[in-house]
Structure 1
Amino acid sequence: MAIELIYFAWVREAIGKDGESVSPPAEVVTIADLVRWLSALSPGYSEAFAEPDRLRAAIDQDFVAFDAAITGAREIAIFPPVTGGSGIGG
């Protein structure tokens, strides 16, 4: 399943791109699994996802917890906590 990933703020800076299309392996079923899988891809990903407790996620523009299933997701955004404005899902 191909999923469009979007990265914001220091996550984007550490990875070096603002998004990409990925097809995670079958055992990647939650946001937490996805972050673990991505962190193993390169030092930049490892740096971006080193502290998952400092990250937030949205699936198809709805904020979700890291235990949320990614099945059927078209787009997943990963970003630091947001302050002010409506941002994603607003």
Structure 2
Amino acid sequence: MRILYFAWLRTKIGTSEEELAPPPDVATTGDLITWLRSRGPGYADALANRAVVKVAVNQDYVGLDHPLSPNDEVALFPPVTGG
């Protein structure tokens, strides 16, 4: 699974993207965020508040109950604001 991080999520986690193989019990985007938080302090800090983390799977916005497949591309980013 390809995971992409944007804006301050990328800064706190320390990378813009990575290829990961989550454990079999990671079935949804919400499960993925929970699992990622366990990967270290940068992840825990960046993903502490799920309410401010937006998710896209294969370039479509989805909710935290969206099912995942091993070949998905998951993008995590903060809310987008205009200026």
**TM-score (structure 1 length as normaliser):** 0.86
Contact 2:21 2:70 in 1 (8 A): no
Q: Which residue of 2 aligns with 1:71?
A: 69
Structure 1 gaps of 5+ residues are 85-90
Moved over 4 A (4+): none
Aligned length: 82
Over aligned residue pairs, what C-alpha RMSD do you find?
1.1
User: What TM-score do the two structures reach when normalised by structure 2?
Assistant: 0.93
What secondary structure does 1:58 align onto? Answer: strand
Q: 1:74 to 1:47 in 2, by over 3 A?
A: same
* SS of alignment partner, residue 5 of structure 1: strand
> Tell me, what secondary structure is at the counterpart of 1:83?
coil
Aligned to 1:47: 45
Code of the residue aligned with 1:44 in structure 2: it is: G
Within 1, Cα distance between the matches of 2:57 and 2:73? 6
For 1:36, what is the secondary structure of its paired residue?
helix
**Larger RCO (CA under 8 A, 6+ residues apart):** 2
Q: Identity of counterpart residues, as a percentage?
A: 41
- Report Cα offsets for 1:9-67 as digits up to 9, x if no partner: 11101000001000000000000100000000100000010001111000000000011
- Return the alpha-carbon distance in structure 2 between the equivalents of residues 58 and 39 of structure 1: 18
Which residue identity lines up with residue 21 of structure 1 in the other structure? E
Counterpart in 1 of 2:22?
24
Q: Do 1:30 and 1:67's aligned partners in 2 also have CA atoms closer than 8 Å?
A: yes
